[in-house]
């Protein structure tokens, strides 16, 4: 067996030499989970805080703290807007979660969300040049039920300390109320990445998929499987982008949405779904098989698979069909099965398959653009423009059925996205005018480059240790043993 490289670049090759094709994806998922536990234990998490200003001698403590810092406090007291210039607030994002819907694992308790929220903070720093803090809060009432009002109050109290808030992994319907109220009542951007971020990158992928299939968004028949925060926001973005509502059918766990769904009408927690039910599926198509017959596009964000979406359903879709199955950690159908069933372009939420629909290509650039432009909110138009920025970037460097969206390692995409978002913020009237595209692009590029260089310097100088190779080998051996037992 080949020695597993520290950068994991030969992982696919090693797994292919050990497992048959139908077990490889499962083995990779198992390995990554095992390795993640070992690495988090080894490093004690993945984020730390270090100063951004220098200590050039003992007296500098008197500059950064007392007595010198008194002038900063009084200046901000007299003009709160100076907090963005005199502190790190202008580049600081709070990643806030109650841990009630963590990836595909459901309610993991408030503390259980820390792994994902720290990961979000790490990506913001490395990909967007943003500082971020993971804040997992306990909003349960005495009976253990999550209270959305407590999240709203928490963010409002937190607002003076940060430049933006990224809401994450909050179960529905609470996530809708939290986002809607905070977008209205806060004077800083509040972003729900599970909803808006997923919708942005999905739209980007669909824009390029439609180009490759020579289809237009106004004419395609589209099916959304799942009606949670992600797909309801995707539906909204698609409709705002020209999708014909008469050609859109959305399914939740009880069937298709349509104007006769009285259970939605009577449920105040389903107001997003009820709004879409009144606009879409006028023929009241009921079954998923019927809905997919002749459909051009399927976007699934539902129950992790791999048998949630059946190959025979895909086989009845239109020629050159587009299939996005983005449940995590396992897609509703594996890409090779979808392609064998006739899908022309297949995307998932995973990085070990082509066409990863990954929020991480969206939120670092979007939040960077919002903060650099001093936007007070992130509008739908800003998110949709970010989607076009992602699609345009990919098209310029070349797209194919196996490569429709940028990947996280394409560092140039994030300042491009940030600049587009900033200009749209100014156009939407939620940011002051004055900045140019080039100014935002250059500042974002420099901040991102500095973050990456600083991380690499810490690695080179040994402040971030390379993981012991034995831990990688142990995770691989445990994977081999576990999968072969099955």
| 72, 75, 80, 82 alpha-carbon torsion, rounded to 10° | -70
Q: Is 65 a catalytic residue?
A: yes
Written as one string, the DSSP assignment of 368-384 is HHHHHTT-S---HHHHH
Cβ atoms within 10 Å, residue 115: 19
| Cβ proximity of 364 and 127 under 8 Å | yes
Residue 196 DSSP one-character state: I
d(CA 465, CA 442): 31
Of 120, 221, 272, 374, the catalytic one is 120
User: What is the C-alpha radius of gyration for the chain, rounded to an integer number of angstroms?
Assistant: 23
Q: Which of 308, 306, 339, 307 is nearest to 322 (CA)?
A: 339
Residue with tokens 């050609």: 247
Whole-number Cα distances in Å, 316 to 210, 266, 311, 332: 19, 34, 9, 17
Q: Which of 464, 368, 458 is nearest to 416 (CA)?
A: 368
Of 3, 33, 65, 484, the catalytic one is 65
Q: Where are the alpha helices (DSSP H) in 53-112?
A: 60-64, 70-78, 83-86
Q: Which of 119, 124, 207 is nearest to 405 (CA)?
A: 207
Bridge partner residues of 146 (DSSP):
140
| Cβ proximity of 300 and 308 under 8 Å | yes
* DSSP-derived pairing of the beta strands 248-252 and 255-256: antiparallel
Three-class SS state of 198: helix
d(CA 226, CA 50): 42
Q: Measured in whole angstroms, how far is the alpha carbon of residue 206 from the centre of its chain?
A: 16
The pair of structure tokens assigned to 184 is 């209205």
The pair of structure tokens assigned to 77 is 């007291």
Bridge partner residues of 131 (DSSP):
92
Q: What are phi and psi of 97, to 5 degrees?
A: -150, 155
Q: Which of 364, 466, 454, 462 is nearest to 50 (CA)?
A: 454
Q: Is 334 a catalytic residue?
A: no
Active site residues: 65, 120
């Amino acid at each position: 067996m080949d020695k597993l490289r520290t950068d994991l670049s030969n992982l696919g090759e090693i797994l292919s030499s050990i497992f048959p094709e139908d077990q490889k994806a499962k083995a990779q998922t198992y390995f990554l989970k095992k390795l993640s536990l070992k690495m988090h234990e080894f490093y004690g998490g993945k984020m730390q805080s270090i100063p951004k200003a220098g200590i050039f001698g003992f007296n500098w403590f008197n500059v950064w703290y007392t007595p010198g810092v008194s002038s900063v406090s009084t200046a901000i007291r007299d003009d709160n807007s100076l907090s963005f210039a005199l502190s790190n607030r202008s580049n600081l994002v709070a990643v806030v979660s109650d841990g009630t819907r963590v990836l595909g694992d459901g309610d993991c308790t408030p503390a259980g969300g820390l792994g994902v929220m720290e990961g979000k903070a790490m990506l913001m720093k490395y990909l967007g040049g943003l500082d971020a803090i993971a804040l997992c809060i306990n909003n349960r009432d005495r009976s253990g039920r999550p209270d959305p009002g407590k999240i709203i109050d928490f963010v409002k109290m937190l607002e003076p300390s940060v430049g933006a808030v990224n809401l994450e992994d909050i179960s529905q319907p609470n996530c809708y109320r939290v986002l809607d109220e905070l977008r209205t009542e806060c004077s800083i951007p509040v972003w729900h990445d599970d909803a808006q971020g997923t919708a942005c990158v999905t739209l980007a992928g669909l824009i390029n998929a439609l180009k490759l299939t020579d289809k237009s968004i106004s004419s395609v028949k589209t099916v959304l499987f799942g009606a949670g925060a992600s797909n309801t926001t995707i539906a909204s973005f698609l409709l705002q982008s020209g999708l014909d509502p008469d050609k859109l059918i959305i399914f939740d766990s009880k069937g298709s949405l349509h104007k006769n769904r009285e259970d939605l009408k009577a449920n105040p927690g389903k107001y997003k779904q009820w709004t879409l039910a009144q606009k879409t599926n006028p023929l009241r198509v009921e079954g998923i098989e019927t809905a997919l017959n002749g459909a051009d596009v399927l976007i699934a964000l539902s129950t992790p698979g791999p048998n949630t979406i059946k190959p025979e359903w895909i086989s009845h879709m239109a020629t050159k069909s587009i299939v996005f199955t983005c449940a995590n950690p396992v897609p509703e159908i594996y890409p090779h099965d979808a392609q064998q069933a006739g899908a022309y372009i297949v995307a998932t939420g995973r990085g070990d398959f082509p066409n990863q629909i990954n929020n991480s290509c969206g939120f670092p650039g979007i939040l960077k653009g919002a903060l650099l432009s001093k936007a007070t909110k992130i509008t739908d138009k800003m998110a949709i423009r970010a989607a076009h920025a992602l699609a345009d970037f990919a098209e310029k460097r070349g797209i194919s059925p196996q490569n429709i969206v940028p990947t996280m390692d394409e560092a140039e995409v994030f300042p491009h996205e940030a600049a587009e978002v900033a200009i749209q913020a100014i156009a939407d009237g939620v940011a002051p005018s004055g900045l140019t595209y080039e100014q935002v692009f250059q500042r974002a590029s420099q901040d991102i480059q500095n973050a990456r260089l600083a991380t690499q310097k810490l690695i080179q100088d040994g402040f971030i240790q390379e993981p012991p190779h034995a831990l990688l080998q142990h995770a691989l051996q445990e994977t081999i043993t576990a999968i072969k037992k099955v």
